[in-house]
Amino acid sequence: MTDRTTRIPGTAGHGADSAPSGTEPRPLALSGHLAPVPTEIDAYDLPVSGTLPPELRGRYLRNGPNPLPGRGGGAHWFLGHGMLHGIRIAGGRAEWYRNRWVRTTRLAGLPSTRPDGTRDLANNPANTHVIEHGGRLLALCESGLPHRVTPDLDTLGPEDFGGRLHTAMTAHPKEDPVTGELHFFGYAPTPPYVTYHRMSASGELEHSRVVDVPAPTMMHDFAITERYVVWLDLPVTFDAALRGTGSMPMRWNDAYGARLGVMERAGDGPVRWFDIQPCYVFHVGNAREDAAGRIVLDAVRYGRDTFNGLWEAIGGASAGQAAPAPGTALPGVSGARAAAPAAPGSVLYRWTLDPATGAVSEAPLDDLAVEFPTLHAGHVGRAHRYLYLVSDAPSGAVVRYDVTTGERQTHDVGPDRAVGEAVFVPAQDARAEDEGWLLSIVTDRSGAGSELLVLDATDVTAAPVATVRLPRAVPAGFHGSWIADGDGGADAAALGNEAGR
């Protein structure tokens, strides 16, 4: 294992296993399996239990917040500096692990505003997701521009797509599996509050338009179908009173209401809005059009109390809740969960919208607290049968839902371990939607260690296909991608030439 010297302002004097000095309690986002690591390392020939499928040839990359030693980056978990973790797999071997901070201007301690007072969109933590599109590997965070990185996780710099992107970019873009287009948006605290963008399969930004909403809203995710874009205009909004507090300047707003918007992908037609029961959604599973032309949206829904409990636990300001509410499954926030939930938690939920009549129906699909839904990328915006999620209630688990039959399968890893997002990797020449594997980083709640879990997606109850023991504890983070050798162009072309590096 090789330690890299990290020459970043503010890191001098911190060793490989250093911890903040002082006796004050550590915030939840700096403790246990959320605790940030203080260095960047490279490790080779990782130990494997079981057998890694020979078809897995590429990199599993995952992003998440990791404040610099001595510089927390903010009181809120979501504000920590982005760190990429990568595991290279080929020929049945786990060839290497490495981790790198995304070198942003925020990491360097530079201000978020320019001398003329305008916002610098390049100044963001780049801490939420990492994807490939049009030959670029991109580290994403919804508060600013994406950052382009190399297959070895080095930062190339902010990416504005030839000067065409003038807004932030969501960390949850949607790639159409048929056209290859990337659909995404940016939101802002000043008008225009939401802007939609469409990018070609080759990575050219082709179309942008403003989506009118009444106030600055925290729109974390959205959905597409074959013909529509589905917007989530929900009651978590910017609060100017929270600026300068070191936390996220958003909170639940009872006066805002909740609605879903349906916008045709073609042209610049109006958005049709459907009022729904107040809630919040961090993550969409998928959306599709059914045989009757209705839009069916599956996502993880938070009620008011559940959202406020989670938001307080990770450093946010709630809408005046006296105590954390139970039922959240976001990994790393088990402190926000009570033993006996008194209100619905973060559950898989379905909304059905009828553009012809304006009717909307909604109902939970299950009562298990879950988060981080994923699916086969070939079914984004189209009919799907399977969704894969993770749970933290009462034990860490990977969860598979068959949304056709209602069957739920779980792979339990125990109450002392936290499970990260499970990324689906399809098998070569697969004949069924679920033929493939699930990749997830599992971390001990004590922060003692981590492993990459590889499950058979057709039967998640079975023993793991393989586990890769990682050389250090990887903090529970957010989202990741499997980047197969040969996927994409300019940045990803080198993937097949770097085995063993």
Q: How far from chain centre, in Å, is Cα 5? A: 28
Task: Enter the pTM of the model.
Answer: 0.91
pLDDT tens per residue across span 223-238: 999 999 999 999 999 9
Strand partners, 151: none
Which contiguous run of DSSP H or E holds residue 136?
strand 136-140
pLDDT tens per residue across span 299-325: 999 999 999 999 998 889 877 543 334
21 or 351: which carries more pLDDT confidence?
351
102 or 501: which carries more pLDDT confidence?
102
Counting every residue, how long is the chain?
501
User: What does the pLDDT average to over 113-129?
Assistant: 94
pLDDT tens per residue across span 14-71: 333 333 444 445 566 788 999 999 999 999 999 999 999 999 999 999 999 999 987 6
Query: How far is residue 223's CA from residue 184's CA, in Å, rounded to a whole number?
Result: 9
Distances from the Cα of 483 to the Cα of 65, 92, 157, 396, 408, angstroms? 21, 16, 20, 26, 28
pLDDT attached to residue 143:
96
At 246, the pLDDT band (50, 70, 90 cuts) reads confident
Closest by CA to 176, choosing from 130, 132, 225, is 225
Sign for the pseudo-dihedral over CA of 475, 411, 175, 195: negative
pLDDT attached to residue 244:
79
**Cβ–Cβ < 8 Å for 420, 331:** yes
Enter the tokens of residue 228: 């529509």
What is the residue whose two structure tokens read 């927390």? Answer: 72
Average pLDDT of the chain is: 89
Q: How much of the chain, in percent, has pLDDT values that exceed 70?
A: 86
At 75, the pLDDT band (50, 70, 90 cuts) reads confident
pLDDT tens per residue across span 152-186: 999 999 999 999 999 999 999 999 999 999 999 99
At 394, the pLDDT band (50, 70, 90 cuts) reads confident
SS3 375: coil
